[in-house]
């Protein structure tokens, strides 16, 4: 696919949001992925042209961050956390089960183009370990069986909800949201869960409060 005029106009729209246009490069790359399914050479050139920088600079950013892909991603990017805590809690077992079930390896896509499987680093959700993410939405407290059910439902076209977020959309749709074009799903689902709020609950029960900050010029 090639970048149409609408996409090029939206790239300029993103760049115009920032005092320094090049600050818009990250969401611009997400927009490229939403259209082409990956960061393509044409997308790199288009971003460079809009920002007035070299293609090498854009390529350096696109190859640094793992959220930017250089080969096509399936309809659903399934990322299994295999960092220390999630791995100990069962993340490694989940990843191995999904590889066998989907008949793919790491960073590979199923033959039907539906699921891309990848083991990923910490999702900052250790209180819900082991965690899996689908298009960057949380699927908490997973087991090998529940993870298989999620991917089977996605492949069957069934509606799937994040455990702490909205209905799951496709990877390209999620990439467009990351580019700064909301899909009006931000308020679907809870923003936090009991495990994340445990400390706050205990503090309220015990009447704990944070120390008051010192005023300017105040000395000990």
CATH hierarchy code of domain 76-169: 3.40.30.10
Tokens of 173: 């749709």
φ, ψ for residue 132, nearest 5 deg? -125, 145
Query: How are beta strands 108-109 and 132-134 bridged, if at all?
Result: unpaired
Binding residue per annotation — 86? yes
Structure tokens at 93: 């077992």
Every domain range in the chain assigned CATH 1.10.10: 5-64
- The model's confidence at residue 145, banded by pLDDT at 50, 70 and 90, is very high
Q: Is the distance from CB of 126 to CB of 81 less than 8 angstroms? A: no
47 is in an annotated binding site: no
Residue 25: helix, strand or coil by DSSP? helix
CATH fold for domain 5-64: Arc Repressor Mutant, subunit A (1.10.10)
CB 24 within 8 A of CB 51: yes
Compute the distance between CA of residue 54 and CA of residue 47 in angstroms, rounded to an integer: 9
Q: What is the pLDDT of residues 13-66, one digit of tens each?
A: 999 999 999 999 999 999 999 999 999 999 999 999 999 999 999 999 999 999
Distances (CA, A) of 88 to 82, 84, 91, 196: 8, 6, 7, 20
Q: What pTM was computed for the model?
A: 0.87
Q: Is 169 annotated as a binding residue?
A: no
In tens, the pLDDT along 80-105 reads 999 999 999 999 999 999 999 999 99
Residues 34 and 175: beta-carbon distance below 8 Å? yes
Q: Which residue has the tokens 């971003």?
A: 47
Can you give the pLDDT at residue 218?
55
Q: Is 81 part of any known ligand binding site?
A: yes
């Amino acid at each position: 696919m090639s970048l149409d005029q609408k996409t090029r106009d939206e790239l300029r729209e993103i760049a115009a949001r920032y005092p320094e246009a090049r600050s818009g490069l990250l969401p611009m790359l997400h927009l490229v992925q939403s259209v082409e399914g990956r960061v393509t050479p044409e997308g790199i050139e288009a971003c460079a042209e809009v920002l007035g920088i070299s293609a090498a600079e854009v390529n350096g950013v696109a190859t640094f961050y793992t959220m930017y892909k250089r080969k096509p991603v399936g309809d659903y990017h399934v990322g299994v956390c295999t960092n220390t805590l999630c791995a100990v809690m069962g993340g490694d077992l989940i990843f191995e089960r999904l590889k066998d079930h989907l008949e793919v390896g790491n960073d590979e896509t199923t033959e039907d183009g539906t699921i891309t499987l990848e083991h990923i680093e910490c999702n900052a959700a250790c209180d819900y370990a082991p965690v899996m993410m689908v298009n960057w939405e949380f699927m908490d407290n997973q087991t090998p069986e529940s993870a298989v059910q999620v991917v089977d439902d996605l492949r069957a076209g069934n509606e799937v909800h994040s455990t702490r977020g909205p209905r799951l959309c496709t990877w390209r749709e999620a990439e467009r949201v990351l580019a700064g074009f909301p899909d009006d799903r931000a308020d679907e689902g809870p923003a936090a869960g009991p495990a994340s709020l445990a400390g706050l609950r205990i503090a309220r029960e015990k009447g704990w409060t944070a120390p008051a900050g010192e005023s300017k010029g105040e000395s000990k």
